[in-house]
Amino acid sequence: MYRCKNCLNASTRPRIEFDDRGWCNACQWMEEKKTLNWEEREVQLTRLLNKHSGKAHFDCIVTVSGGKDGSYVAYTMKEKYGLNPLCLTVRPPMALNVGEKNLVNFINSGYEHIHVSVNQTAMQILDKIGFLEYGQGYYGWLIAIHTAVLRVASTYGINLVFYSEDGEIEYGGSTKNKNVPTYGIEYMKNAYLNSTYDDILSKADLSLKDSYWFLFPEDIENKLPDLEVAHLSYFENWDPYRNYLVAKEFCGLEELDEGVVGTFTNFAQNDQELATLHYYLMYLKFGFGRATQDAGIEIRRGAMSREQAVNLVKIYDNQPPLDGFKRYAKYFGISLEDFNQTIDRFANKELFQKVNGLWEPMFEIN
């Protein structure tokens, strides 16, 4: 395993690539964005909005959680471009109080909103299979933030859906679609859910009724013939910290009083407790965690040196969410012993060794 020479992205990250300097995809994209014709991309955005606005009561759907990025997208659509967005949240499992408060604050700042509360038993079954089979803590919710959104879009006849940023392009995955502004349902299936989707749904063996919010509408091509899905990050120079400032000033965003386990920030992804488990599993599989990702964002926006990032990652990346282990096990409906055994099974034995009951890295960060 080796690290990006500019940020700390690891070579173990899926679909990552490095140039001759040892710079990762995300850092190369950061450089490219400095000379990108953003005016042309704004023209593309304006054309897209003009194509869809006024075709239904709501001009577009914006996915939100009450956090910084979705709030920023909704604010931009409404205040900058004058659209009437329908904001949509798929209620997450193990929601955090600060996340629920932030969502209420966002709604009260002037947005129409739908809260989709899917069958929690069905979601729990899907999450359990995702955890036990793939080491993924909230797979049911990841499915629903695609399928349930399209269900609502189909119901209201809304052909335009906005998500926040494309994590693949912004944070170090594949950049092959960096010049593709919109996509449809087939790309959504293949790129974000792939074969795991079919396997987990098959093993869950849910009834058609219970799986409603986790299935793509069969007739969506007929109901939404002009469906286009986009990330706002394609059309502008994406800056998570700017999004935070906008959400805080105009949408009522509040931070956690204390830091988040596994990182040095306290203002992002505070909607659900399972996010912390997700990042810890990522760390054990690939050798980089949430602090690495957050530090990379700060380096690429010029707010942190690589040396500072190394120190922070050494402190925070290897923080297991031990206080949550019993709650996670209870949510999945398994014993604490089975939970720990699953964690052990997905830990990368080439990168970690168990010391006094905890997984410790065998690699140095430099």
Band of the pLDDT at 10, cuts 50, 70, 90?
Answer: very high
pLDDT in tens, 227-244: 999 999 999 999 999 999
**Which whole-number Å values give the CA distances from 146 to 68, 70, 253, in the listed order?**
19, 15, 24
The span from the CA of 83 to the CA of 19, in Å, is 41
* Helix, strand, or coil (residue 86): strand
The span from the CA of 356 to the CA of 322, in Å, is 14
What's the pLDDT score for residue 258? Answer: 78
Segment 40-61 mean pLDDT: 96
- Topology (CATH) of 52-234: Rossmann fold (3.40.50)
Amino acid letter, residue 337: E
Is pTM beyond 0.85? Reply is yes
Residue indicated by tokens 């055994």: 341
Q: Contact, 67 vs 272, CB < 8 A?
A: no
Strands, E assignment, 188-336:
228-231
What's the pLDDT score for residue 366? Answer: 87
What are the residue ranges spanned by the domains of the chain?
A: 52-234, 263-361
Residue 191 has pLDDT above 80, yes or no: no
- If one compares 308 and 194, the residue with the highest pLDDT of the two is 308
The span from the CA of 52 to the CA of 142, in Å, is 26
The span from the CA of 234 to the CA of 146, in Å, is 18
Band of the pLDDT at 353, cuts 50, 70, 90?
Answer: very high
Provide the phi-psi class of 287: left if phi over 0, else alpha when psi is between -120 and 50, else beta. left
